[in-house]
Amino acid sequence: MLTLKMITEQTEKVIAGLEKKHFKNAKETIAQVLELNEKRKSAQNQLDKNLSEVNQLSKSIGGLMKEGKKDEAEAAKKKVSEIKEGNKALQTEMDQAAEDMQNLLYTIPNVPYDEVPEGNGAEDNLVVKMGGMETELPKNALPHWELAKKYNLIDFDLGVKITGAGFPVYIGQGARLQRALINFFLDEARSAGYIEVMPPTVVNAASGYGTGQLPDKEGQMYHCNLDDLYLIPTAEVPVTNIYRDVILDEKQLPIKNCAYTQCFRREAGSYGKDVRGLNRLHEFSKVELVRIDKPEHSRQSHQEMLDHVEGLLQKLELPYRILRLCGGDISFTAAICYDFEVYSEAQKRWLEVSSVSNFDTYQANRLKCRYRDADKKIQLCHTLNGSALALPRIVAALLENNQTEEGIRIPKALVPYTGFDMIK
């Protein structure tokens, strides 16, 4: 959530940033926020004046009674009563303005950094780096959904029977490959200094609002109506909310957490060839990195996270590219975001496997995640997160890019985790 300080002191910059994100009616919405804030402040100022007057009148009543000025004392009492009655209306007006402003702020996205490129959608994202190995596949190479069937690794039809489309069942070496990747990602994160946590995969609405999934992505989340709880779309939600309503000490920063969880996304309206197999699921495994940091160090933290994710893809020997997302494609909450994509040789297309984002103070302001600096001043933290990594498309790329006439080769870095170097 944008801070009022930023909106009031950098109004034009905020509007320009929102327009870069293609946020509709940016000027009108910011004007409405400022109007509601003035209404709230005006009511608050009048309440403060009234309170001061009530205090003065109340103090005078006793003296007037001692001096025998009963009529004047009664008039003062009546005035106090009238002011207090008027204060009720002022309080209601102030509370309503504050509530309306808060609800409006929830609908306004984060302002992107200056280096975020202009653009309307994915086609305008900026490729900043490419890496990995060129892949040569045998003739008549198969996409991963056919490889999964051929080697009995994943049963998509069985998942449909048990739950529905988008909920695959991993079998035998397919299940072992999943577990190997999870452990590999967690070990790599631990080696990089991340503290592992195992959070719930169901959260309350306050957690959804804290990280910005609500109200923006409510339709994309599975909602447990009876208990008003949500299945998490990513471990970002529960892990970042560990620090909701917390004041940290500057010496604790940066905080580095990682977590493996199942993730759930409704993906409403998804259909077609781009969602075949593992390309787009409703339930999937993911290892997430979360950082809480000081403003002056968060850009360095962001780069360290980018380097970490790139290192994972290099160790998995996958062809990859890194994109800086444009204003029209960046997420609602991010100030800047880089996507990592791996190339699927069999499908001849790029598959997104990670987004690494810096949210500046946007999430922290919602969460009231703060720290006490060396001067004992309370400041908002910066929050960051990134997938390291999401498994489905990594598995898809591993199966497709490593298929040979003899079977599917396992990258050397994974062999200690799988216990086999070839799927036959």
Provide the pLDDT for residue 271.
52
Domain pair 4-106 / 122-423, same fold? no
Instruction: Please report the pLDDT score of residue 111 as a whole number.
Output: 98
Q: Which residues of the chain are under the pLDDT cut of 70? A: 268-274
Strands (E), 120-173: 126-131, 154-155, 169-170
CA 46/CA 70 separation, integer angstroms: 29
Contact 3, 13 (CB under 8 A): no
Backbone angles phi, psi at 407, to 5 degrees: 155, -160
The DSSP secondary-structure symbol of 407 reads -
91 phi, psi to nearest 5 deg: -65, -45
Q: Rounded to whole angstroms, how far apart are CA atoms 195 and 296?
A: 22
End-to-end Cα distance, the chain = 51
What is the β-pairing status of strands 320-324 and 202-204? unpaired
- pLDDT tens-place string over residues 177-212: 999 999 999 999 999 999 999 999 999 999 999 999
List of E strands, 265-344: 283-293, 320-324, 336-344
Identify the pLDDT of residue 90: 93
**Predicted confidence (pLDDT) per residue in 237-263, tens digit:** 999 999 999 999 999 999 999 999 999
> Domain 122-423 in CATH: superfamily?
Bira Bifunctional Protein; Domain 2 (3.30.930.10)
Contact 127, 322 (CB under 8 A): yes
C-alpha to C-alpha distance for 113 and 332, rounded to whole angstroms:
13
This prediction's pTM? 0.92
How far is the C-alpha of 379 from the C-alpha of 346, rounded, in Å? 50
pLDDT of residue 273: 52
The position carrying tokens 């908002």 is 380
**What is the Cα–Cα distance from 131 to 143, expressed in whole angstroms?**
22
Burial of 378 (0-12, 13-18, 19+ CB in 10 A): exposed
**E strand intervals along 149-236:** 154-155, 169-170, 195-196, 202-204, 223-224, 229-231
Give me the residue spans of the domains in the chain: 4-106, 122-423
The helix or strand, by DSSP H or E, that contains position 306, with its residue range, turns out to be: helix 298-315
- Hey, what's the torsion of the CAs at 311, 121, 238, 297, to 10 degrees? 60
CB 215 within 8 A of CB 266: no
Whose tokens are 């990280």? That residue is: 211
Q: CA 33: distance to chain centroid?
A: 23
Per-residue pLDDT, 76 = 83
pLDDT at site 194:
98
Q: Count the neighbouring beta carbons within 10 Å of the beta carbon of residue 152.
A: 12
Angle formed at CA 309 by CA 391 and CA 371, multiple of 5 degrees: 110
What's the pLDDT at 69? 82
The token pair at 87 is: 């204060």
Contact, 99 vs 323, CB < 8 A? Answer: no
d(CA 193, CA 190): 5
In CATH, what number does 4-106 get?
Answer: 1.10.287
Confidence (pLDDT) at 288: 98
